[in-house]
């Protein structure tokens, strides 16, 4: 078992599946569509199965990278194909492999054109996402990190709504601009250390002034991905124009890449710079929470509202990461996972009614509970999870982040605490206008409740919401060794730097 | 055993909620009511075993969160304080379940209603059995959720939806304070478990905590933060605005949630945390002042309301104020005593008014009632009992009196016996409120049941006494309203007090208000009663003898009347300073912040740089508030960042 390259298999199964679909699915159009759908579903389910093995055989007590694989790739540049997971990255692999089959199910009837190409794009996307979370060599990381953009760009640009081209380019330009700076930082690291191996670079100490510049370059890339205020405006447009499944992946996984970058690069490699910039992160996060919550309150488009709420929730995450204590970082990780399936599910909820009425306008709905009680219930579960009601996944992450933030800075805890009120305000207000009140629109009176396929796509997410809300230990235990290690190294580095400064001052 | 009492209602909610279409209305009623009654019976046993037998215990269930040094578990703690709450919650809940069978008879979604009721009870039981602050918070927000669901039960009514959201949001404001309090407790004590906190509390009496950049007496800050949560849930002055609106929900809900159980959670919380509050004189003072002011304020508003349920809602708000100022003078057990008796007679009043509303074909405006006593005599009699208990009628110096007589007088006497400035303030506020309480209660009785019928013919012909399934619960509550005071006096606040409460309530030996309250001058004992009787007499004079007087008075003192009738303009004020600006800012930040500024100078701007810049410059001086607000925000961000950097470095 130890020799079995489980990670590589998980990473490349979807790609192989995509290739197979590309080569072998031929024939009349409807047959191609059906085979492509079933093929993609099975491939993604197998991938999910592999990723479950990663969790089941994961050793909770160590902070080391597990399932590590290492192959020479470009020996003359000292670049290797190096993958592995630790407690920080492992669950993101699972999140990606879980959401992909759900997305394929969600696209079952919604996508009518170029089905084969669509399914191929999703499977390629899955490989890129999983690869990015597993990468332990930053060239490998960079390739996957950037390559994620291509299928996503296509999914928005080809299968998106009316303004899809504008949105796709905005998305692409924003994220690419940041990436260029990240590449500069990575090259700088390579020049200084002579290696591209992430665990090795984590041991290296960069000079303080160098750290600051590297940190800013990385920040430019990660902040766009998170997205942090004020570089968040690509997100609402991208979400609105993306097909439902595209939104799910975008909110569920792609938004986590930035925060993951902070945890994998900024904090461990550039601790002093991270500590220096922490006040700025706090400020931007607080603005994000309050500003985007207020903006969400007045949205007329359901997808835009959820998109803005994502920015607010990610504001909590960035606070958690930079508060840099055990509770805050674990809370940030849980909040990311929770946001992954809750906001994903909320986009699915929008997709359900969009498929029926073809509108995302909140005012277009009202009184859905009359005809769709099951939908109303499921929508409410996710809405409450998003609001952070205790007993749901949203609470645990938010609570731990706030506990951590309170220890770091009480002002920060108080100000992002207002998100608890504002978040409830925009969510309940939207839910009321969509699901409650009198049903007055004629065409809603014949709307049908969830189909079995739709219930199946929600079921795993509902289970996760309550599982993580009631017994989060299953998720915290695998994380804690890695998080503790991260924080210990961070504090040691800061203490050493302080000692250094003190010495220099003397 | 403990777990069964708590989880049976959840099971009932589950069955009724998910299999409602299979087992039909009748099945859902049977399942939830049966489980609720069993849960109540178990609670009685627990009360007997734990409270009377002095055998507190904690039953662990499951780990919840373990993160670094922070860990808390799911568990059920049952001590005397919890046992009293179990008794109150399960009794009232069972009674309300039964009553609802009759009251909701015509409704189209009966299983949903019963599922919500049972779910609420589950959360409430989790709240009172919590062994740590976070589980308390779980129950706390859970009951808030159910309150939201039940207020908005008739979801096609816009007013009900608005009230439901308002209730949730106002409570959330309090909950932010509560949550910050929990974080502070963790930072100070390194734990959130009650037993560990209480054990360590005396050692922290002089500890300090830096909050928002200032160093404060730690326990004062923590207690005040936690108290903000209690204010939200228990509708205290400032955070009370949701409670009257919550009357949009079905009447059994008002009785269960917004009178007897959920709104008292704040009082329970402060009593539970008595070992912390005892160590902060400042916090106790604040609690006293807020409670006393609320008792007075809500009573003044109750004087002029015309909606039968709103009168009782303000009365609830006022009575909760009594409980809080009792807590503030360290008379925790008096507060708990009043909490219990209040649960009985206020639930009785609500369900009785529900019976009236039911008879009047869903009319709630007292101006359209009148003359009902001949038509629904049974309800009339029960409303009298409830009102007598609420007004605290009894004979001082004897053990003859309605339930409220014992508990309310214990509170008023304690506040007198505290001999502190705030105690005296509370005493006089309480006396004034007692007068007004009697007045508005009898105003309600006279307007509803006496005089000429003011409803239309059709309604009048339809008036009927409620079915037995609704009257039986009322009788049970009436019995509680009559006897709970006599029965509970000795153990709650009398001689048996110390043995009964054990360690569940902690009072410093220097805080002797409750003990001293037995030795107050005779005029202090008689005054509340005199106030009550004169309130009744005045109501009789104004609404039976000289019925033109109320209108003449309202005209003569129009500003005062309007101030009371419009509830001191709290809603208008909050609307103007919170709700409207939030929407205005939101729209402004979206259109001009995201749209014009960020996108304008960012991605879109790059495309047409020069042309746009000129336009942008002129747009800056647009005269719109939100444009300036946004520019200001940018400035603030810059400043704060700079400030934090210099502070850090």
Encode pLDDT of B504-555 as tens digits: 888 888 888 888 888 888 898 889 899 999 999 999 988 888 888 888 888 8
The minimal CB distance from A294 to the residues B141, B164, B582 is found for B582
**Chain B residue with minimum CA distance to A485:** B68
Instruction: Write out chain B residues lying below 8 Å of A384, CB-based.
Output: 145
Q: What is the pLDDT of residue B290?
A: 94
Q: What is the pLDDT of residues B351-389, one digit of tens each?
A: 999 988 888 888 888 888 888 888 888 899 999 999 999
Q: What is the pLDDT of residue B634?
A: 61
Q: What is the pLDDT of residues B164-219, one digit of tens each?
A: 999 999 999 999 999 999 999 999 998 999 999 999 988 888 888 888 878 888 89
Q: Is the pLDDT of residue A59 over 60?
A: yes
The minimal CB distance from B156 to the residues A299, A437, A480 is found for A437
Record: contact A390-B155, CB cut-off 8 A: no
Record: contact B169-A424, CB cut-off 8 A: yes
Q: Please name the residues between 194 and 213 in chain B that touch chain A, using a CB distance below 8 Å.
A: 210-213
For all residues of chain A together, what is the average pLDDT? 87
Record: contact A418-B176, CB cut-off 8 A: yes
Instruction: Write out chain A residues lying below 8 Å of B168, CB-based.
Output: 424, 428
Instruction: Write out chain B residues lying below 8 Å of A327, CB-based.
Output: 67-68, 70
Within 10 Å of residue A126's Cβ, how many Cβ atoms?
33
Q: Please name the residues between 430 and 449 in chain A that touch chain B, using a CB distance below 8 Å.
A: 432, 435-439
Put simply, whether B533 touches A (Cβ < 8 Å) is no
Q: What is the pLDDT of residue A1?
A: 47
Residue A74 C-alpha, separation from nearest chain B C-alpha, in angstroms: 37
CA B590 to the chain's CA centroid: 37
Between β-strands B400-401 and B208-211, what pairing exists: parallel, antiparallel or unpaired? unpaired
**Rounded to an integer, what distance in angstroms lies between the CA atom of residue A180 and that of residue B370?**
79
**Chain B residue with minimum CA distance to A422:** B169
pLDDT-based confidence at residue A506 (cuts at 50, 70, 90): very low
Instruction: Write out chain A residues lying below 8 Å of B635, CB-based.
Output: none
Residue keyed to tokens 């009236």 = B356
B26 close to B32: Cβ distance less than 8 angstroms: no
Q: What is the pLDDT of residues A130-150, one digit of tens each?
A: 999 999 988 889 888 888 888
Instruction: Write out chain B residues lying below 8 Å of A417, CB-based.
Output: 176, 179-180
The minimal CB distance from A421 to the residues B173, B645, B648 is found for B173
The minimal CB distance from B180 to the residues A417, A470, A473 is found for A417
Between β-strands A79-85 and B57-67, what pairing exists: parallel, antiparallel or unpaired? unpaired
**Rounded to an integer, what distance in angstroms lies between the CA atom of residue B7 and that of residue B2?**
9
Which of A171, A177, A230 best tests the B interface by mutation, with the highest count of B CBs <10 A?
A230
Q: What is the pLDDT of residue B204?
A: 85
Q: What is the pLDDT of residues B462-482, one digit of tens each?
A: 888 888 888 888 999 999 999
Record: contact B183-A297, CB cut-off 8 A: no
- First-to-last alpha carbon distance for chain A, in angstroms, is 56
Q: What is the pLDDT of residues A83-135, one digit of tens each?
A: 899 989 999 999 999 999 999 998 888 888 888 888 999 999 999 999 999 99
The minimal CB distance from A283 to the residues B138, B585, B644 is found for B644
Q: What is the pLDDT of residue A335?
A: 94
Residue A214 C-alpha, separation from nearest chain B C-alpha, in angstroms: 19
The minimal CB distance from B583 to the residues A283, A298, A420 is found for A298
Put simply, whether B557 touches A (Cβ < 8 Å) is no
CA dihedral A197, A200, A203, A206 (to 10 degrees): -50
**Chain A residue with minimum CA distance to B176:** A417
Q: Is the pLDDT of residue B414 over 60?
A: yes
Q: Give the tokens for residue B323.
A: 């409980």
Record: contact A296-B586, CB cut-off 8 A: yes
The minimal CB distance from B585 to the residues A170, A294, A435 is found for A294
Put simply, whether A414 touches B (Cβ < 8 Å) is yes
**Rounded to an integer, what distance in angstroms lies between the CA atom of residue A28 and that of residue A85?**
43
pLDDT-based confidence at residue B627 (cuts at 50, 70, 90): low
Record: contact B179-A291, CB cut-off 8 A: no
Record: contact B64-A471, CB cut-off 8 A: yes
Q: Is the pLDDT of residue A5 over 70?
A: yes
Q: Is the pLDDT of residue B439 over 90?
A: yes
Residue A294 C-alpha, separation from nearest chain B C-alpha, in angstroms: 4
Within 10 Å of residue B398's Cβ, how many Cβ atoms?
7
Q: What is the pLDDT of residue B95?
A: 93
Give DSSP secondary structure letters for A80-117: EEEEEE-TTTHHHHHHHHHHHHHHHHHTTTT--SSHHH
Q: Give the tokens for residue A237.
A: 């447009």
Record: contact A421-B161, CB cut-off 8 A: no
Q: Could you give the C-alpha distances from A380 to A452, B163, B176, B301, in angstroms and in order? A: 19, 18, 22, 36
Residue A229 C-alpha, separation from nearest chain B C-alpha, in angstroms: 10
Put simply, whether A174 touches B (Cβ < 8 Å) is yes
Q: What's the whole-model pTM score?
A: 0.90
* Least confident range of A46-60, B200-214, B477-491, B603-617: B603-617
Instruction: Write out chain A residues lying below 8 Å of B180, CB-based.
Output: 406, 410, 413-414, 417
The minimal CB distance from B603 to the residues A174, A414, A429 is found for A174
Put simply, whether B589 touches A (Cβ < 8 Å) is yes
> Pick from A340, A324, A333: which is nearest to A472 by CA?
A333
Which of B153, B183, B242, B649 best tests the A interface by mutation, with the highest count of A CBs <10 A?
B183
Residue A484 C-alpha, separation from nearest chain B C-alpha, in angstroms: 8
The minimal CB distance from B172 to the residues A403, A424, A473 is found for A424
Give DSSP secondary structure letters for A19-48: HHHHHH--SSHHHHHHHHHHHHHHHHHHHH
pLDDT-based confidence at residue A306 (cuts at 50, 70, 90): very high
Residue B487 C-alpha, separation from nearest chain A C-alpha, in angstroms: 38
Q: Is the pLDDT of residue B635 over 70?
A: no
pLDDT average, residue stretch A430-440:
87
Residue B648 C-alpha, separation from nearest chain A C-alpha, in angstroms: 8
Q: What is the pLDDT of residue A162?
A: 78
Which of B586, B591, B647, B649 best tests the A interface by mutation, with the highest count of A CBs <10 A?
B586
Q: What is the pLDDT of residue A188?
A: 84
Three-state DSSP class for residue A79: strand
Record: contact A294-B589, CB cut-off 8 A: yes
Q: What is the pLDDT of residues A378-414, one digit of tens each?
A: 999 999 999 999 999 999 999 999 999 999 888 889 9
Residue B387, C-beta contacts closer than 8 angstroms, at least 6 positions apart: B349, B441, B442, B444, B445
Q: What is the pLDDT of residue A334?
A: 94
Residue B245 C-alpha, separation from nearest chain A C-alpha, in angstroms: 17
The minimal CB distance from B158 to the residues A174, A406, A437 is found for A437
Put simply, whether B563 touches A (Cβ < 8 Å) is no
Paired with B120 in beta bridges are: none
Record: contact B590-A295, CB cut-off 8 A: yes
Put simply, whether A420 touches B (Cβ < 8 Å) is yes
pLDDT-based confidence at residue B609 (cuts at 50, 70, 90): low
B135-B139-B143 Cα angle (round to 5): 170
Three-state DSSP class for residue B64: strand
Q: Is the pLDDT of residue B134 over 50?
A: yes
* B397 φ/ψ sector (left φ>0, alpha ψ -120 to 50, else beta): left
């Amino acid at each position: 078992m130890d020799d079995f390259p489980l990670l590589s298999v998980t990473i490349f199964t979807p790609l192989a599946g995509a290739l197979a679909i590309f080569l072998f699915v031929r024939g009349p159009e409807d047959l191609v569509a059906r085979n492509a759908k079933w093929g993609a579903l099975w491939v993604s389910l197998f991938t999910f199965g592999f990723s479950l093995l990663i969790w089941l055989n994961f050793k909770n007590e160590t902070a080391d990278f597990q399932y590590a694989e290492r192959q020479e790739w470009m020996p003359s540049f000292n670049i290797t194909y190096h993958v592995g997971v630790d407690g920080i990255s492992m669950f993101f692999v699972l999140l990606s492999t879980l959401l992909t089959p759900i997305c394929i199910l969600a696209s079952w009837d919604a996508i009518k054109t170029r089905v084969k190409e669509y399914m191929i794009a999703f499977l390629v996307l899955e490989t890129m996402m999983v690869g990015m979370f597993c990468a332990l060599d930053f060239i490998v990381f960079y390739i996957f990190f950037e390559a994620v953009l291509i299928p996503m760009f296509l999914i928005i640009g080809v299968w998106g709504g009316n303004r899809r081209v504008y949105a796709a380019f905005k998305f692409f330009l924003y994220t690419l601009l940041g990436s260029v700076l990240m590449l500069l930082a990575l090259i700088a690291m390579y020049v200084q250390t002579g290696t591209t191996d992430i665990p090795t670079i984590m041991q290296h100490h960069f000079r303080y002034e160098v750290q600051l510049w590297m940190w800013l370059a990385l920040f430019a890339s990660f902040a766009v991905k998170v997205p942090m205020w004020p570089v968040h405006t690509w997100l609402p447009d991208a979400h609105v124009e993306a097909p439902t499944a595209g939104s799910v992946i975008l909110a569920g996984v792609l938004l986590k890449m930035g925060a993951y970058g902070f945890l994998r690069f900024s904090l461990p490699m550039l601790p002093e710079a991270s500590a220096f910039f922490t006040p700025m992160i706090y400020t931007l996060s607080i603005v994000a929470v309050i500003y985007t919550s207020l903006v969400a309150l007045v949205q007329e488009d359901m997808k835009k509202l959820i998109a803005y709420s994502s920015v607010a929730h990610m504001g909590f995450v960035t606070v958690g990461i930079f508060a840099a204590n055990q509770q805050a970082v674990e809370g940030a990780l849980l909040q990311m996972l929770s946001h992954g399936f809750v906001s994903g599910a909320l986009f699915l909820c929008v997709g359900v009614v969009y498929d029926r009425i073809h509108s995302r306008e909140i005012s277009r709905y009202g009184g859905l509970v009359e005809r769709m009680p099951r939908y109303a219930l499921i929508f409410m579960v996710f809405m409450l999870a998003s609001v952070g009601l205790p007993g749901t996944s949203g609470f645990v992450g938010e609570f731990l982040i706030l506990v951590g933030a309170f220890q770091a800075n009480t002002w920060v805890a108080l100000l992002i605490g207002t998100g608890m009120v504002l978040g409830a305000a925009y969510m309940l207000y939207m839910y009321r206008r969509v699901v409650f009140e009198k049903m007055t629109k004629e065409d809603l009176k014949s709307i049908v409740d969830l189909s079995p396929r739709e219930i199946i796509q929600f079921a795993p997410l509902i289970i996760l919401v309550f599982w993580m809300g009631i017994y989060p230990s299953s998720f915290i235990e695998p994380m804690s060794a890695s998080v503790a290690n991260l924080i210990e190294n961070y504090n040691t580095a800061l203490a050493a730097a302080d000692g250094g400064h003190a010495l220099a001052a003397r | 055993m403990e777990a069964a009492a708590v989880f049976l209602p959840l099971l009932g909610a589950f069955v009724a909620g998910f299999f409602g279409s299979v087992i039909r209305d009748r099945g859902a009623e049977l399942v939830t009511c049966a489980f609720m009654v069993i849960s109540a019976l178990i609670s009685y046993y627990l009360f007997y075993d734990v409270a009377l037998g002095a055998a507190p215990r904690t039953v662990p269930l499951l780990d919840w969160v373990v993160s670094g040094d922070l860990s808390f578990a799911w568990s059920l703690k049952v001590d005397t304080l919890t046992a009293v709450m179990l008794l109150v919650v399960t009794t009232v809940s069972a009674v309300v379940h039964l009553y609802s069978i009759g009251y909701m008879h015509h409704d189209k979604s009966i299983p949903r209603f019963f599922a919500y009721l049972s779910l609420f009870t589950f959360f409430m039981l989790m709240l009172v059995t919590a062994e740590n602050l976070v589980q308390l918070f779980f129950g706390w927000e859970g009951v808030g959720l159910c309150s939201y669901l039940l207020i908005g039960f008739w979801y096609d009514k816009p007013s009900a939806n608005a009230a439901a959201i308002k209730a949730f949001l106002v409570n959330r404001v309090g909950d932010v304070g509560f949550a910050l309090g929990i974080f502070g407790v963790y930072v100070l004590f390194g734990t959130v478990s009650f037993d560990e906190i209480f054990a360590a509390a005396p050692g922290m009496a002089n500890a300090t905590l830096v909050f928002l950049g200032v160093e404060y007496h730690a326990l004062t800050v923590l207690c005040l933060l936690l108290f903000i949560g209690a204010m939200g849930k228990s509708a205290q002055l400032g955070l009370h605005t949701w409670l009257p609106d919550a009357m949009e929900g079905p009447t059994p809900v008002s009785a269960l949630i917004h009178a007897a159980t959920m709104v008292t959670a704040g009082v329970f919380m402060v009593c539970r945390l008595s070992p912390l509050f005892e160590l902060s004189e400042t916090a106790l003072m604040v609690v006293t002042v807020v409670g006393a002011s609320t008792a007075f304020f809500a009573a003044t508003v109750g004087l002029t309301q015309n909606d039968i349920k709103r009168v009782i809602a303000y009365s609830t708000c006022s009575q909760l104020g009594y409980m809080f100022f009792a807590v503030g003078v360290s008379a925790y057990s008096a507060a708990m005593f009043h909490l219990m008796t209040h649960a009985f007679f206020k639930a009785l009043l609500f369900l009785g008014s529900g019976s009236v509303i039911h008879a009047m074909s869903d009319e709630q405006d007292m101006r359209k009632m009148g003359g009902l006593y001949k038509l629904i005599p049974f309800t009339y009699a029960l409303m009298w009992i409830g009102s007598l208990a609420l007004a605290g009628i009894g004979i001082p110096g004897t053990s003859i009196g309605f339930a409220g007589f014992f508990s309310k007088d214990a509170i008023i006497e304690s506040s007198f016996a505290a001999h502190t400035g705030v105690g005296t303030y509370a005493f006089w506020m309480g006396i004034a409120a007692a007068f007004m309480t009697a007045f508005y209660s009898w105003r309600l009785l006279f307007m509803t049941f006496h005089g000429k019928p003011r409803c239309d013919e059709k309604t009048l012909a339809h008036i009927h006494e409620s079915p037995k399934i609704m009257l039986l619960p009322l009788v049970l509550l009436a019995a509680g309203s009559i006897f709970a005071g006599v029965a509970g006096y000795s153990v709650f606040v009398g001689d048996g007090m110390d043995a009964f409460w054990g360690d569940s309530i902690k009072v410093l030996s220097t805080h002797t208000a409750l003990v001293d309250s037995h030795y107050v001058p005779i005029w202090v004992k008689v005054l509340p009663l005199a106030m009550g009787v004169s309130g009744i007499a005045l109501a009789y004079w104004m609404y039976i003898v000289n019925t033109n007087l109320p209108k003449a008075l309202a005209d003569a003192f129009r500003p005062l009347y309007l101030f009371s009738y419009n509830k001191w303009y709290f809603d208008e004020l909050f609307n103007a300073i919170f709700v409207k600006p939030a929407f205005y800012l939101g729209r402004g930040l979206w259109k001009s912040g995201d749209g014009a500024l960020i996108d304008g100078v960012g991605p879109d701007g790059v495309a047409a740089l020069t042309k746009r810049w000129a336009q942008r410059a002129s747009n800056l001086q647009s005269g719109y508030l939100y444009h300036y607000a946004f520019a200001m925000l940018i400035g603030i961000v810059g400043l704060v960042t700079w400030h934090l950097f210099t502070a850090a470095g």
